[in-house]
Amino acid sequence: MRLLIRACLAAYLLAAALPCAASGTGNRLELKDEYFWDKNKVWNQTPAFSLTQALSRIWSFGWEQEFDFVTGASRRIGLDKVGLTGDRDIDAVSGASKIEMRYSENPSLTYSEKGTVATGSLYYSREDDYVSISPAASVSFDFNERNTTVGASYAEFFHDFKPTGAFAGQGGKKRITSLGEMMTEAVPNHKQGGALSSQIVQGFQLGDRLGSLNLDYRRYQDDWALKSNTLDAKLSQYFTETAYVRFRLRYYNQTGTAFAKEYYTGNEVYRTADIRWFPFTSWLGGIKISAAFPEDWGKSVFLPDRWDIKFDYTLRDTRGDKVAQAAGDPRTKKRSPP
C-alpha cells in the first residue's frame, strides 16, 4: 500500500511540475494539492485536478478527479502508533492508524447562454469498503444587469457499504466502546439522501475595483434521519486588475442519525461511534488570495494563467476520547441508559 501511495504522489508531483494550458480558449486545467492536519494528529493529503473543455459556444464538459490519503483517526491510535495511555499498537479492527485511500471523480456537462447556466453531474467515490454515487443538477439566472444571480440545485446520494472478511454484512471495519465493553459497529448497508440548495450572488464596485458577495444555503436529509443546514458566505474584492482576496465564513449544524447514541446495551440492531453520525456544529473561517501570472505568459499554451493560496480554520464541537483517558473508560460521563 505504501508503494502505491508513493507512486501516486510521485505521479501527481510530476504532473504539478508540468505547465498548464492557457484558458483563453475557454478550456482550463487546474492542478491543486491540499494538506489537512488537526489536533488529534490526523493528516490528510489530497492531490487533484479539474479539467474544463469547451464543446461549443454554449456547451462545456468538466472532469474532476482526486486521490485522498488519510491516517490517524483517533488520539489513541494515531500515526505514531502509541496513544496517550502508552499501551496502544496499531488497531487491527478499525485500521484507524493505517494510511487509507479514497478515489473520486465527477464528470459534468454545462449549458451557459445569456446569463442562464445549467449543469448536470455524476459524482463517484470509492474506498476499500464503501461506494458512493451522487447525480446532481443545478441552474442559475442573472438579472439586474447581470449584477445579481439566483440559483438552485438538487442532488441525490446513494451509498453502498461493502465490508470484507470477518466484518462482511456488519456495516464496516470500525470499533465502538460503550460502558467499558467492546462492541462491533453495525450500520445500515444502504443510505439514500437528498439536498436542496439556493444561492445569491451580488456584485458591487469599491472605487474602481469590482467585488462580490456570495451567499449559499443548503439543506440535507437522508433516510438515516440525519438532517443538516449549511450557510456559507464569501466576500471577494479585487485589489489590482488581476489579483483579488476572498474572505469566507461558513456555519454548519446537523442532527444525529436515528441509531447514534452515547451508550448502547448491545441489543441494538444498529450502533456507531463515528462522529459523522452524531449531532455537531462547526464554524469555518478562511482567506484566499489569487492573482494572474505575468501577462506575457498568456501567449503560450504551456504556461499557467493564475495561482492561488488558501487557508481555512475550523472549530467543531465534536467530542472524542478525553485527555489521559484510561483504555477501558467510556467516552463521556456515565449515566443510566435511556
Considering only CA atoms, which of 212, 218, 213 is closest in space to residue 231? 218
**Residue 320 backbone zone (phi > 0: left; psi -120 to 50: alpha; other: beta):** beta
- Count of CB atoms within 10 A of residue 91's CB? 19
Of residues 65 and 273, more confidently modeled: 65
Say whether 3 sits in a helix, a strand or coil: helix
Which sequence spans correspond to the domains of the chain?
2-316
Which CATH class, in words, describes the domain spanning 2-316? mainly beta
Structure confidence by residue, pLDDT tens digits, 82-91: 333 444 444 4
Structure confidence by residue, pLDDT tens digits, 183-212: 567 788 888 999 999 999 999 999 999 999
Model confidence at 72, pLDDT cuts 50, 70, 90, reads low
> Which helix (DSSP H) or strand (DSSP E) does residue 62 occupy?
strand 59-71
Calpha distance 278→135 (Å, rounded): 25
Model confidence at 168, pLDDT cuts 50, 70, 90, reads low
Structure confidence by residue, pLDDT tens digits, 215-247: 999 999 999 999 999 999 999 999 999 999 999
> Residue 13: pLDDT above 50?
no
